[in-house]
Chains A and B, each alone.
Chain A
Amino acid sequence: MINQGVVMEAGMVQGMDTVIDSRHGTILYLEDVSVSFDGFKALNNLSLYIDAGELRCLIGPNGAGKTTLMDVITGKTRPDTGSVFFGQTIDLLQLDEPAIAETGICRKFQKPSVFDALSVFENLQLALKTNKSTWATLFSRLQDEQLARIYEVLATIGLTHLLDKPAGILSHGQKQWLEIGMLLMQDPKVMLVDEPIAGMTHQEVERTAELLLSLQGKHSLVVVEHDMAFVRSIAKRVTVLHEGSVLTEGSMDDVQNDPRVIQVYLGE
């Protein structure tokens, strides 16, 4: 019975890989997306295109719609109008959160969301890319390559020595890393990373920058961050959001010298 479960799980993993059609170089399309909450337009005809393998930074003052944008992509919020496509073919508006996660879009929350009661190892184990149906989960056993993958990610995020400790005792920065590790375990195509360096020490920030830079190419990353020095250190292309739409897009230098951006950040 147990062996059967394992075999089934292995089979499902192979069959599960969704083919993302990114032939045109773009992996994520958002077109004319609008979201309003009680008359407040959180997103206003926003259009955004993310290339396959790129690392894009999103900046913008508070309330510009950065988190709402991530909510729309991951299925938490349904837009009033507009379309959101993953590759050429997958309409994300037709899918719910687990289905979107399964296609390979995953997300780190603004507030680190790890499972405090579970150990660091178990946190990663739950995130592991595998068949996540109830029965498969009930009979699941870790296979050698899955175990190896968990240890690999543990080493990447520097938490190997804490693997059996409950995630609740980790520092804020370590929790951020653990959550990034949980994203890596899902082997995602697109990673949405909301404020990754909040609460980190200077060294931790540097290591996070290195980690994110090493991920581009293999994964597409969308990073939301307020720390401009950090954004400058990782970003090639920066998108500035303001009042729910894209204000401008370009290199960090272009963006920082744009008078409209200066006005938005500094006020009149």
Chain B
Amino acid sequence: MKNLDKSFGLVIAVILLVSLLMPLGNLLLPEGSAFKFSAYSISLVGKYWCFALLALSLDLVWGYAGILVLGHSAFFALGGYVMGMYLMRQIGDRGVYGDPLLPDFMVFLNWKELPWYWQGFQHFGFAGLMVLLVPGFLALLFGWLAFRSRVTGVYLSIITQALTYALMLAFFRNEMGFGGNNGLTDFKDILGFSIQSDAVRSLLLLTSGLLLIIALLLGQALAGSKMGKVITAIRDQESRVRFLGYRVEYFKLWIFVFSAMLAGLAGALYVPQVGIINPSEFSPINALEVVIWVAVGGRGTLYGAVIGAILVNYAKTLLTGLMPEIWLFSLGAIFVIVTMYLPRGLVGLFDHWIRRWTAQRQLLTPGAQEAGL
């Protein structure tokens, strides 16, 4: 338990340091300095933080509540689209067609006016609210139907995968009004500042880092609360919890909605840093990747999910740069290895090593003292 708290603190400290020092290096150091981090690397790390937040949100439902969601990236993508809509409205008349109101793709489709569901997204506050509400509402609706009918296990996993697949197909359609195939891109400003500028990129990295830390702390507080205990209990003995008088479906719904909102937030931070959101974010393969991040890091610890997401994505960045064709095979291999040999993920492995090391030291210390005397 002590080890766990220490590792938790360490992970938070590293995230905080990186989120502060990288922007400082980028903004303050002169050209040519070794720690003059490029805009590219800043956005890359910011992207990792977003993935880490997504992994953390999945760990809440999978690691704690035992609900394996194979479509969690749907909530991430929805949050991303909401942010994308705000960023599209920010472009104003600077689009290729110069329409003051309509985004380029709508002009291209010969649309004459802005659809009703695009109203209000020019306001950052409204969009920010929707970043949480849209994924939250979908999770509420879906979870209510699924948990009330007591759909569990592999059936639920498959339905969630179908959900994200259905959303992907829907968002591919031009008639949906979200840019179809191309999605939303060519963003210019966020809150009136150029999205390409180093300062904005730095701030986005810092914001993502801070929100990730807040989510980690919130998640840990939740796990330690009675709520967290009930949710863990549901994972292990669902019917027992029901016979204790808890409405299991409401608890599952609660954590599912909370988690979907976090995933949406992660997506909303991701989009301005990568500059595009398109329907491929809904693809089932993305959703499966998130599951692998969490499994690699070690589920049910929160910081394990964060470590897993960062390491796997770092490996992905390296490998897709060197040999893009082998990435999916490597990912599959990682999953097989983790499932077979590391059921508790990397965090479980470190924990095991630390335990063994302390045990050995305790064995050695009295002997060493006697030798000295």
**A residues with CB within 8 A of B:** 74, 76, 97-98, 101-102, 106-107, 109, 113-118, 122, 125-127, 132-134, 137-138, 140, 182, 186
Residues of the A chain whose Cβ atoms lie less than 8 Å from the Cβ of B6: none
A-B contact count (CB 8 A): 74
Shortest A74–chain B CB gap in Å is 6
* Known contacts A115-B232, A115-B236, A133-B250: A140-B244 contact under CB 8 Å: no
* Known contacts A117-B232, A126-B244: A137-B226 contact under CB 8 Å: yes
* Known contacts A118-B229, A137-B226, A140-B226: A127-B244 contact under CB 8 Å: yes
B204 contacts A by Cβ under 8 Å: no
B226 and A98 contact, CB distance less than 8 A: no
Residues of the B chain whose Cβ atoms lie less than 8 Å from the Cβ of A107: 243
Residues of the B chain whose Cβ atoms lie less than 8 Å from the Cβ of A76: 239
* Minimal Cβ-Cβ distance residue in B for A108: B243
* Minimal Cβ-Cβ distance residue in B for A97: B242
B76 contacts A by Cβ under 8 Å: no
B11 contacts A by Cβ under 8 Å: no
A126 and B233 contact, CB distance less than 8 A: yes
* Minimal Cβ-Cβ distance residue in B for A192: B243
B232 and A138 contact, CB distance less than 8 A: no
List 5 A-B residue pairs with CB atoms under 8 Å apart, sorted by A's residue number.
A115-B233, A122-B229, A126-B230, A126-B246, A138-B225
Shortest A98–chain B CB gap in Å is 5
* Minimal Cβ-Cβ distance residue in A for B232: A117
* Known contacts A122-B229, A140-B226: A132-B246 contact under CB 8 Å: yes
A118 and B225 contact, CB distance less than 8 A: no
B367 contacts A by Cβ under 8 Å: no
Q: Which of B231-247 contact A (CB under 8 A)?
A: 232-233, 235-237, 239-247
Residues of the A chain whose Cβ atoms lie less than 8 Å from the Cβ of B337: none
Shortest B64–chain A CB gap in Å is 10
B225 and A126 contact, CB distance less than 8 A: no
In angstroms, Cα B243 to Cα A117, docked, is 18
* Minimal Cβ-Cβ distance residue in A for B233: A115
Most buried by B among A106, A114, A132, A186: A132
The 7 closest A-B pairs by CB, nearest first: A101-B245, A113-B240, A97-B242, A115-B233, A138-B227, A102-B245, A140-B226
In angstroms, Cα B240 to Cα A115, docked, is 9
Residues of the B chain whose Cβ atoms lie less than 8 Å from the Cβ of A74: 243
Residues of the A chain whose Cβ atoms lie less than 8 Å from the Cβ of B226: 125-126, 137-138, 140
Residues of the B chain whose Cβ atoms lie less than 8 Å from the Cβ of A102: 245
B254 contacts A by Cβ under 8 Å: yes
Residues of the B chain whose Cβ atoms lie less than 8 Å from the Cβ of A98: 242, 245-248
B251 contacts A by Cβ under 8 Å: yes
Q: Which of B47-103 contact A (CB under 8 A)?
A: none
Shortest B235–chain A CB gap in Å is 8
Tell which of A117, A134, A138, A186 touches B244, judged by Cβ atoms closer than 8 Å: A186
Residues of the A chain whose Cβ atoms lie less than 8 Å from the Cβ of B245: 98, 101-102, 132, 186
Most buried by B among A101, A115, A125: A115
B251 and A134 contact, CB distance less than 8 A: yes
Interface contacts beyond A98-B248, A138-B226: sample of 18 additional A-B pairs, CB < 8 Å, sorted by A: A97-B239, A97-B243, A106-B243, A109-B240, A113-B237, A113-B240, A115-B236, A115-B237, A115-B240, A118-B229, A125-B226, A126-B229, A126-B246, A132-B245, A137-B230, A138-B225, A182-B244, A186-B245
Residues of the A chain whose Cβ atoms lie less than 8 Å from the Cβ of B246: 98, 126, 132, 137
Residues of the B chain whose Cβ atoms lie less than 8 Å from the Cβ of A127: 244
In angstroms, Cα B230 to Cα A132, docked, is 10
In angstroms, Cα B250 to Cα A136, docked, is 12
Shortest A264–chain B CB gap in Å is 30
B233 and A132 contact, CB distance less than 8 A: no
A101 and B229 contact, CB distance less than 8 A: no
In angstroms, Cα B243 to Cα A139, docked, is 22
Shortest A87–chain B CB gap in Å is 18
In angstroms, Cα B237 to Cα A101, docked, is 16
Residues of the A chain whose Cβ atoms lie less than 8 Å from the Cβ of B248: 98
* Known contacts A115-B236, A134-B254: A125-B244 contact under CB 8 Å: no
Shortest B245–chain A CB gap in Å is 4
Shortest A20–chain B CB gap in Å is 16
Contact pattern, B 328-368, Cβ under 8 Å of A = 1, otherwise 0: 00000000000000000000000000000000000000000
A118 and B232 contact, CB distance less than 8 A: yes
Residues of the B chain whose Cβ atoms lie less than 8 Å from the Cβ of A140: 225-227
In angstroms, Cα B27 to Cα A183, docked, is 62
In angstroms, Cα B233 to Cα A102, docked, is 18
Shortest A147–chain B CB gap in Å is 13
Shortest B211–chain A CB gap in Å is 21
* Minimal Cβ-Cβ distance residue in B for A16: B245
Residues of the A chain whose Cβ atoms lie less than 8 Å from the Cβ of B230: 126, 137
Most buried by A among B235, B242, B244, B250: B244
Shortest A138–chain B CB gap in Å is 5
Residues of the B chain whose Cβ atoms lie less than 8 Å from the Cβ of A113: 237, 239-240
